[in-house]
Every structure is written in C-alpha cells, then in structure tokens.
Structure 1
Amino acid sequence: MRKAIFMGLCEELAPTLRRKDTRLRAALPVEKRVAIAIWKLAIPDSYRSVANQFGVGRSTVGIVLMQVCTAINRILLRRTVTLGNMQEIVDSFAQMGFPNCGGAIDGMHIPILAPPHLGSKYVNRKGYFSMVLQALVDHRRCFIDINTGWPRKVHDARSFRNTSLFRKMQAGTSFPERKITVGKVEMPIVILGDPAYLLMLWLMKPCTGSLDSSKERFNYRLSQCRMTVECAFGHLKVRWRSLYGKLDLAENSIPAIISTCCAFHNICEGKGKSGTQAWTSEVQHLEAEFAQPESRAITGAHRGAARIRDALREQFEAENQQ
C-alpha cells in the first residue's frame, strides 16, 4: 500500500477513530491505529509480535484492529465493494470471450481456529476449520459483492441462495436491464459460476458429463472469464496474508476482518498496486498447508437456463468455424 493511499485512509477514518487524551496517557494517533490494523492483516504475526513492533500492549492490538475494521465496514465498504461501470464490465468480458457477462462468482475458504461451540460445522473436506468468503468479481479483479460468515458445512449453492445478491438477481435489480439475443433466445446479463452452483437464467456454469467439442469450447470460454475471480482471491491472499494464518478471533468478529481485507483489496487494485513474486511464493507455501477443498457439483437447471447455455454453445461453435 502506497503512502498516499494510507494517508487518504487515515483522513477518511479520522472522525471515527480519533480519541481524546486522558490524564493517564495520550491517545494513539489515527495513523498509528490504522498502521497497526494494516500490519496485523498483512502479516500473519501473533498479537504479541505486532504489539512489540508498535510499542503497545498486546490487548491494544486486538482492540485497535476491531475498531479500524468496524470503521472500514461502516464508512468505506459500500463505497469500495460495489458495481462499477456496467458497460465497461460487459465489454471487457465480451473481449475475453463471453457476451453479456456481469461478473464471476466463487467461494474461498478462510482458515480459522476451532470455534468453542458447534466447531464441527466449520470443518471442511480437507480437515481444517474454515469460514467461506463468497464473492462476485468484475473484469478488473475487484469485488462487486461479498458475503461471508457461512461455515463450511453449508454448500455453496445453499449459502448463495441466502444472500442479498441472489435475491437481487432473481428480482432483476442487481444489474441494469440489458438483454441480447443469442440465436433465437433472449439472454439477460449473467454471472459465471463453477459446477457447485445451480444453472439459472442469469447464472451460467460449465457443461458436465460427456463433452463434445462445442461443450468443451463453451467451458473453455467460461473458464477464461472465471479466472478473474480466481486471480482476485490470489491477490487478496497475497496482500492480506493473515487470511492464511488461522484468524485468532471469535467467529462473529471474523466476517468484519474479511470484509475489511476485501475493501482494502479494491482500494489497492483500483490504484494499480499489485503484489510481488516474493509474496506469491509465500502464499503458495501457505496454500500447501490449507488447500482449498472442492465443492460438490450439483445438477439440475432453472427452466429456460439450459436453452440459453445451448444457444451460447452453438454460437461459440459457429464463431470458431468462421
């Protein structure tokens, strides 16, 4: 994070984070509070290590971290994790190979310590405790919509059905009204998911089972566009490595931490600040310890969704033969 970005954050958060001096001690400056939170999120160090780094008490680190994350969620989250220029998004995904696409959706497991109650709900197929971040990402690898807090025992499709994004997509209010004709079928703006999601009029996923050349080509194009969400998760983990350090917090505090990391991610990506190869190598080491489990694929489709997918498949096949 560049200094200019950091100082801009401090300025926006100052009214909420500034504290008055007392007779016993001077209040921590806003800049130091924000720096402590960013350091703790970016480096998978213990609270004691961060406290020694900044010359504060161990408990102060935890208090300041939650104060900053609460302020970010209240002030900046809705402004940073939001839909951008819709025309630019659709045009960019079309250039990647998929028409009338508004984003790519997927889930990521965040390792956590075993919760004191109902811990078995949080154990995933790889055997570690995790909380799921489900995110919709645009062509720039920025988060458009996020939902977190679900334990791993809940399938991706079920958790998705209980999000505000699902309700908005069903109501047709998530994106502007923009339909195109593919073959003889009308197609609204769609989002792209993996086989763990249900095929919907507005959600396209790969073909499964026996694949011919046209289905393979459809899957390839869809996969090329879905790489944006995988890259977004990769950059998120590269920059905020505490997400791979088993978050030492109560389970009801973890969603605020994850949301803050997503907001910071969008701020940095929007300013063109990317990670380094050294960061990527460290994340790959962490991923070896906490591998992402695969979600069970589901079958079935909303009425009419398969017609849209078939029409797209036929169009991609015709374009390939030209």
Structure 2
Amino acid sequence: MAKIRNIDLGEFPLLLAPMEDVSDPPFRAVCKANGADLMYTEFISSEGLIRDAAKSVQKLDIFEYERPIGIQLFGSDIETMRACGEIATKAGPDLIDINYGCPVKQVACKGAGAALLQDIPKMVAMTKAVVESTHLPVTVKTRLGWDESTKNIQEVAERLQDIGIEALTIHGRTRVQMYKGEADWTLIGKIKENPRIKIPIFGNGDIDSPEKALEYKNRYGVDGIMIGRASIGYPWIFNEIKHFLKTGEHLALPTIQDRIDVCKHHLDFSIRWKGNHVGIVEMRRHYANYFKGIPHFKEFRMRLVTAFSYDEILEILANVQAFYAQGELVAE
C-alpha cells in the first residue's frame, strides 16, 4: 500500500506526470475519470508566481474531484522557491512537488529543473527550504543524473529523504538524454532495494502498455508508476493497466464513441476553464491524439482544427460518429 504521509494511494498507484501545456485541469479531468490515482499541475515557474504572472497563477487552479492533487514548482533561487512553497500551500493542494527533472533548455539553462542535478548541495538546500515553507508533504521528481558520468540519483534519494521529502519519482534517463533512447530503470530498482530508503519510489519513463507496466512493477519493485506521454490522447491507459495488473486480461479497446465522449468532456471543460475562444483554440492540439491510428481521419482532423464555434465542433464529431460504425474497435 503506497502512502504519502496520510494520503492513501492504493496498492499500486498510477500517477499522471506533470506536462507543460498538457496536464491542465481539462486534461486532468479525463485522466482522473479513466483511473489516474495521483495527478499534478503543470510545472509552475517560481519566478512567474512571485511576479504574479497570470499564466503561473492560473496553473494553481485545482478542483475537489482531482484529489489527491499536487502542485509542482520549479525554480533556481532558493528563497524564491521557499516563498512559492507558501503561495502554493494557500491554493490548497494535497502535496507540493519540486521539479528537478525538466530537461528543456529554457528551464535547465536558467539553473532550474534538471540543472540542479549538477549542484546537489543546492538541490538539498532548496528542497529543505520548500519543506520548511509548508505543512504539506513535499515530493520530488527528478532524473538519474545530468549525464552518463554523473548518475547520482542514489545519493540524491538518500539526501532528499533525510531532509524531509515524502516520495520520489525518478525518470529513467539523464538530462543529456532528454527523451531519446530507452529509459533505464536499473538504478530506480537499486534505490528501492536500499534499506535506508523508506519513502515511496515511483518509476517514470517509457511505460506505454499494460504489459510493460506489469514487467517493470515486478522487475524493479517500485511503489507505483508515473505515466506521461502515453496518456496524451489516450487517458484509457490508466484503467487498462489497472485491469491488466488485476486480471492479466486486456480491457476492450476504446471505440469511436468512447473517443468522441472523451473529446467532448475535454472540450467542455476547456471552454469552461479558459473561455470560449481560448478553450476551442487550445483544444486543437488534442484532436490528432484522440483519434490517432483511425483510418481516413485526416479530413475530419483538418475540419476540427479549423473550427471556430462549439456547435461546429459538435457537428463534426457527429459526422465522425456517423462515418464510423459505432462500437467498432478502432486502434490499429
């Protein structure tokens, strides 16, 4: 049974990874409805939060149905991160997560995200400051190290546990690898075997099928799995993995109707949260993913990404429904 302080996550929780421009409340809503056990906000810039930048502040929005939910912060200045721990606490999440894993240049080159893997003492001091800033559990997401020669995650895990973090998620790549090559979970397994480590350890990287989830659960002994890219356009993956772990059998693949229903749910929330225009425009990036692998879908996709009204989108989705046999299994 995985627990973060008093947050009971069940026997083997599946976590939705915080993904910039993806894991906003509308996306989280469809993932929660399809089995995600713990979710996080998109990562929030501590500098943006301190400046009261609208985009950063909006990312603090959380909803009761999402619980348990974590707010994820990133930054390069210790005192700014301490202040943001206090701000995030007031937003009422169940926990606060610190991002030491983001590999993108705009973040790492400013000394935040995965850049802290090059300065473990600063990472420890920053984490301690956030832990001291809140009464909530603090967790961390990070990578194996900066590059092949600095895979220091075993030291990181011990030192961060010692100063008070209550769970650790590890992506099985270095920063230099970005998202290329295969994720290596070997060191994640070694951390789980370390008798000093008492906090939950969650593995992340390349889990894109129920079979792989079961294999990695058994091989590396992690307390749960975080899923990122495989959930984009396919929130069904959470319940598919849960069903497979429990029964050894596969759930039926989502039908065209399932895909349309999730699309509408996502679109409706997007409009409610962001307003009509922004909600419709930002939804466009998701259509190709929701209908990925569907034959002859290109024309519908082109219409969806150019539609400007809610009624027009609903009409196109009705046309999709009519074009494909309802109940047909559509994954290729």
Pairwise same-fold verdict (TM > 0.5): no
The two structures have a TM-score, normalised by structure 2, of: 0.24
Q: Which has the higher contact order (CA 8 A, sep 6+)?
A: 1
The two structures have a TM-score, normalised by structure 1, of: 0.25
- Higher Rg of the two aligned structures: 1
